[in-house]
Structures are given as C-alpha cells and as structure tokens.
Structure 1
C-alpha cells in the first residue's frame, strides 16, 4: 500500500477517543463470543468510533487576514444574528456562519484566526438537533471570544447536538492561538457558529463542505463581497 493511501486510512487519534475505542473493542469481543454476526456488527461500530475521534494533519493557509473553518462539516446557515450575550460582542447583529457536524465528520475544532482568547463562557442547555436554528440559543454551548491583533473580536461557539453530551475546550482566557491550532472538540454530532466582525463578508456559501483548518471562511483585510454559489 502506498504511503499516501496508508495515511488516509491510519490517522492520529484525539486523546479523548482512546477509552471509547477500548470500550467498543471489549464489547465487540463479547459479541463475537455470543454470536459471530454480532461480532462483525461490533467491529463495524468500533471502526466508526476510531474514525470519529480521528485527528488528521491539516495544512493551514498562512497569509495574514485569512479566517479558516474551525470545524469539518457543512455550512447550514449564513445570516445576521445578535451574538450570545456571554460573548460580550454587543447587541448589533453580526454575520453568523453555522457549520453542522454529523457523526461521520472529524469533530476536532481549530482556531479560525491568530488571536488571543479574550473570553471563555460555558452555558448549560438542552440537546435538540444541532442542525436546527434554535440550537444556537437553547442548546448546551461553550463560547470563545477571540481578540485579533488589530483589536477586533470574533465569536466562536461550540454547540452540543442531539446525541452530543460533552463539549471539550482546552484553552483558557489570555491564551494565544495561531490560525488552525486545535482548541477542543465535541463528542458525537454537533454544530459550531462563527460570528464575523462587522463589515467582513463570508467567502463560503450555504451547503458548502468545510475542512477544519483549511477552508477559508473570510478575509479580514479584503473588501471582497460575499460569494454566491450554484449547486450542480
């Protein structure tokens, strides 16, 4: 097998995944002892668990001003919305890009920009389907306010989903992040919202697939208008 092909199959695992993979493996062994077909089902679920917790290497654009996607998934909505009060971004509506992560996406979250973590704010809540608009308001969430070198701020909110039951955030207030740096993850199906600074246009469209740390969301130093797309 070629090296490139092997790297696409065998990937690094987030530390949070080891115990879950071990549990799935032990259950699979028990299922094999009970009935071989059940063991094969367990094996399939164990492989899925391994890939859910994958943490692949990403190549992040380095030009100043570029914002990259903080999550794998699909852009489910782009709309002007008042940011959650705990982010401290004011009451004026800002452009919010919502990225929905299903259970087959990589769930490791990455910083969209080079910035200082100005605020970390956790809010308990419900666990409705993360693809629904009301999830941003009612679901359990963890918000980061990131302060850019020029003083502007953006909001990044991790939102738990229907089957998600734990949001992990590995950063603290005052910490510096580089663009594409890992800052946390959400276990099992979830969503991530990004609030752009005033006057910054999104360079992605609804329905577009995102790659965390690689797909460019916006350009903080460009006056390019918001992009339009055509599904084909």
Structure 2
C-alpha cells in the first residue's frame, strides 16, 4: 500500500500539530498526570491514523475492457435511475451514483479509455453529498470521455459536506486510459456516471464498489 501525494502536506501538518500538542501536554498542561498524557497520545494516534487512511492507495488488479464501464471510485451505490442530463447531453441517460464516505479510498479513476471531449469545473456549495441538489449546486467537475466508436460517458465529481477541494488530472482534448487516476476529492464526496440508455447496469443499490475494479455497466 502507498499514500496519495495529495495527502503529503495534510499528513505532515497533522503530525506536527499533534506532536506539538502532546509535547505541550507532557511538559505543561498535564505535567505529572501520566494517565492524561497517555490518553492524549492514544487519541492523537487514532486521529492521525484516520487522516492517513483517507489518503491510502491499496494495491489492486484493475479491470480493463473497452466494452465495460469501471467504477471510478470506492463507495456505495446510492442512485440507479433514468434521468435527464441537462449540462452536456441535454437528453435522458442512465445515472449511477457512488457515495464516498470519509473512510473510503478517495482516488478517482477513469471509468473507460478515450479522449476527454468536455471538461468543466464549477465552484459551489458543500451540501451533503446525497442531497438532491448537490449535483447541480455543490463544487464539482464534469468530465466527458469519448471512445473511438463515438460512445460518450459523463463523469461528475461532487464535493460533499466535508470536502473543500476537488483535484483533477485531466484536460479537454487529452487521451485517457481506463482505471488510471483522473482526480481526487478530499474528505467525503460523490461521483455520478451518466451512461447511454442501452447500457446494461451491473451494480445494485447499496452495493459496495472498488475503484478500478467493480464493473458498473456494459456498453452495447
């Protein structure tokens, strides 16, 4: 297992703050109170562990197949429905949404290979990720990947109540490869996929997904 570069600064700052707090407690605040010093040290280790686990990148064998749409993130499937996609397609599409809790791996991956035919970033609010308006009012990105056969899939990164920054590594007009990193969302979020109406959905409501591994849909 390795850790994502987006967490380097946060992990270092957290470690320094916790170290300083524990030194302050040992020499001044709880001087002579060994129980309080040990309790603070344990709480600090747990807090640091929670921050570190958020940026972990587990080693996995990724699923690669041009006819499959692969889960772009770890999380739980919270939406499977036919809906009107109004930003890019302006037509009906099948939507699959994956909610990412703070305990999930937060790397986002390309669901398929192709060329980025459309990209937009929108600053916005920080409603809870499962709120109906989060997909149109929260901080978010919209990425459309077009395959050689002309099929397009839209992916939307949506910041949640705890998230304050979305990171992306793709640009409009550039080629991307399936399961490679396309971005990162810090501390709780959601990812939406908008698929062709004839796509066969391979996940169910409440199912846990693994980014780069779980097959979300089969393309016709």
Same fold (TM over 0.5): yes
Instruction: Output one character per residue of 1:163-195: Cα deviation in whole Å (capped at 9) or x when no partner.
Output: 100000011112111111111010000000000
Given that 1:67 and 1:220 are in contact with CA atoms closer than 8 Å, whether structure 2 keeps it comes out as: yes
Which residue number corresponds to residue 21 of structure 2? 31
**Equivalent position SS for 1:47:** helix
Q: How many angstroms does 1:84 deviate by?
A: 4.2
More displaced 10-residue stretch of structure 1: 33-42 or 23-32: 33-42
Instruction: Output one character per residue of 1:43-77: Cα deviation in whole Å (capped at 9) or x when no partner.
Output: 11111111101122331222330111000000011
Which residue number corresponds to residue 16 of structure 1? 6
Instruction: Output one character per residue of 1:85-114: Cα deviation in whole Å (capped at 9) or x when no partner.
Output: 1xx22x222111010000000000000111
The 5-angstrom pairing of residues 122-201 of structure 1 reads 122-201=121-200
User: Could you say what the CA RMSD is over the residues aligned between the two structures, in angstroms?
Assistant: 1.2
The 5-angstrom pairing of residues 22-171 of structure 1 reads 22-33=12-23, 34=25, 35=30, 36=37, 37-85=39-87, 88-89=88-89, 91-171=90-170
Larger % of strand: which? 2
Instruction: Output one character per residue of 1:24-59: Cα deviation in whole Å (capped at 9) or x when no partner.
Output: 111111222215222321211111111101122331
2-side partners of 1:58 and 1:175: how far apart? Answer: 25
Closer, same or farther: CA 84–124 of 1 in aligned 2, 3 Å: farther
1-side partners of 2:63 and 2:103: how far apart? Answer: 25
Given that 2:64 and 2:179 are in contact with CA atoms closer than 8 Å, whether structure 1 keeps it comes out as: no
Q: How many residues align?
A: 208
Given that 1:127 and 1:161 are in contact with CA atoms closer than 8 Å, whether structure 2 keeps it comes out as: yes
Q: TM-score, normalised by structure 2?
A: 0.91
1-side partners of 2:169 and 2:213: how far apart? Answer: 20
Q: TM-score, normalised by structure 1?
A: 0.86
Given that 1:68 and 1:180 are in contact with CA atoms closer than 8 Å, whether structure 2 keeps it comes out as: yes
**Equivalent position SS for 1:145:** strand
Closer, same or farther: CA 84–181 of 1 in aligned 2, 3 Å: farther
Extract unaligned runs of 5+ from structure 1.
1-10, 222-232
2-side partners of 1:115 and 1:80: how far apart? Answer: 24
2-side partners of 1:26 and 1:38: how far apart? Answer: 15
Given that 2:111 and 2:178 are in contact with CA atoms closer than 8 Å, whether structure 1 keeps it comes out as: yes
- Of the two, which has the highest radius of gyration? 2
